[in-house]
Amino acid sequence: MSLCNQTEDLVFSGLRVLVVDNNLDSRELLAFVLEQQGAEVATATCVDEAIAIVKQQKPDILLSEIALPEKDGYALVHQVRDLAEQQPSPILAIATTGRAGLDDRLLSLQAGFQAHVAKPIDFDALTALVLEMTR
């Protein structure tokens, strides 16, 4: 049975997730899948919006596209890391992007993301990754 179909288990119950993507369909689909797993999801379309949410809601996990308008996902994760001193625990960050090359993965990790997930997203693999990261 697929992890994405195990809604009765609510594997992400209590987990606060921030999804940042300027593509409406991608953002809403990812938020929907996470909410079906029990996560509390906030969404943003740009870095400034995301930082405001980070300061107010203190999410456990950040899922961010790299290619964002004005400032990119690398700038976002740098700002989130700068705010980390004010957070009781660090925010886990996953790049969710169409940039799937090895160089792109390395750039994501060097920028401060703990993981890099290429689009189209395999939601079962993402679920497993988030569960592993939050243990």
Assign residue 122 the CATH number of its domain.
3.40.50.2300
Is 124 inside any structural domain?
A: yes
Please report the pLDDT score of residue 1 as a whole number. 37
Give 20-63 pLDDT, tens digit per residue. 999 999 999 999 999 999 999 999 999 999 999 999 999 999 99
Q: Is the dihedral of CA 72, 74, 78, 81 positive or negative?
A: positive
C-alpha torsion angle, residues 35, 92, 119, 26 (rounded to 10): 40
Is 1 inside any structural domain?
A: no
Is 6 inside any structural domain?
A: no
Is 94 inside any structural domain?
A: yes
Please say whether the beta carbons of 71 and 60 come within 8 A. Answer: no
Per the structure, how many domains does the chain have? Answer: 1
Tokens at 66, concatenated:
């790299």
Is 120 inside any structural domain?
A: yes
Q: What is the largest CA-CA distance in the chain?
A: 41
Give 49-60 pLDDT, tens digit per residue. 999 999 999 999
Does residue 46 sit in helix, strand or coil?
Answer: coil
Is 122 inside any structural domain?
A: yes
Is 34 inside any structural domain?
A: yes
**Where in the sequence is the domain holding 65, given as residue range(s)?**
15-133
